[in-house]
Every structure is written in C-alpha cells, then in structure tokens.
Amino acid sequence: MASLECTLSGLASLDTADIDAVMRMNEACLHTLLDPTLWVWMTAISAVCVLGGAAIGWIKGRVRAGIIWGAVLGPIGWIIVALSASKLPACPECAKGNPASAKVCRHCGVNLKQSAERSARSRLKGADSGGSW
C-alpha cells in the first residue's frame, strides 16, 4: 500500500473503483489543503497585494479602489488602479494632481491657494502680456 500524493498525476492514476484508494487520496488532498504553511504563504501574498494596491491607490488618490483591486486581482489590479484617472485635485497651472491638503504644487511649485483665487481672465491676460503682438 503506497502513500498517495495529491497531485494531478496521482489523481489521473487513481482507480476510482477502489473505495479505499479514493478515501486515502481524499485524506492526502485534505491534509495538503489544511497545511499551515500553505495558509501562511497565501496570507502573506494577499497582504502584499493589498498593500501594493493601497500604495498605488494613495498615489492616485484612490486608496479604497487600490485595496479592493489589489485584493481581488493582485498585480493585475495594481495595473488597473495605476491606469485609472486620478482623483487628486488638479493644479490650476500645470493640471497635475496634488493632495487636497497641499499648499504648493508638488510638480510646478505654484501656490495653489493664490492660483485658485485668480480668475481665468487674469490668467489669460497674464499669458497675453508675453511680448507677442
């Protein structure tokens, strides 16, 4: 009576008419699935996927979406979140996203409060005084 391994080749060579062999294979597969090492690895991989998604979501201003997509699809979810539109408020000057609490644009350095207070007409007038025509 040889010990059975829960592998695809072991399942393919299993004689389904032998009830004892089927029960031994069932026990072997159950033992494999309940192995604590497998569960530790699966938990660690899931945690890495969720944290990676959260980090990418934080950059895009979509932490919750990053956590969900990372948990459900792992690295594919990371790509989905990375390619999604940013929910960060855009700078009036360079149109790139900044955190809501930012006082200065992290891309162009303009004061966000002063720039937001300027009207669209004053921005156009300032651009018009560049010396052309």
Domain interval for residue 98: 88-133
Q: Which of 2-16, 20-34, 112-126 has the highest mean pLDDT?
A: 20-34
Domain identity same for 78 and 104: no
- The string of pLDDT tens digits covering residues 60-107 is 888 999 999 999 999 999 999 999 988 877 787 787 777 777 788 878
For residue 21, pLDDT beyond 80: yes
Domain identity same for 27 and 47: no
Domain identity same for 132 and 97: yes
Domain identity same for 8 and 23: yes
Domain identity same for 82 and 122: no
The per-residue pLDDT for 133 is: 52
Mean pLDDT of 14-38: 92
Domain identity same for 48 and 60: yes
Domain identity same for 24 and 49: no
For residue 132, pLDDT beyond 80: no
DSSP string covering 49-109, please? Answer: HHHHHHHHHHHHT-HHHHHHHHHHHTHHHHHHHHHSPP-SPBPTTT--B--TT-SB-TTT-
* C-alpha span between 68 and 70 (Å, rounded): 5
- Supply the pTM of this predicted model: 0.61
Domain identity same for 59 and 79: yes
Amino acid at 76: I
**Crossing angle of helices 63-73/75-83, nearest 10°?**
150
Q: How many structural domains is the chain composed of?
A: 3
- The string of pLDDT tens digits covering residues 48-59 is 999 999 999 998
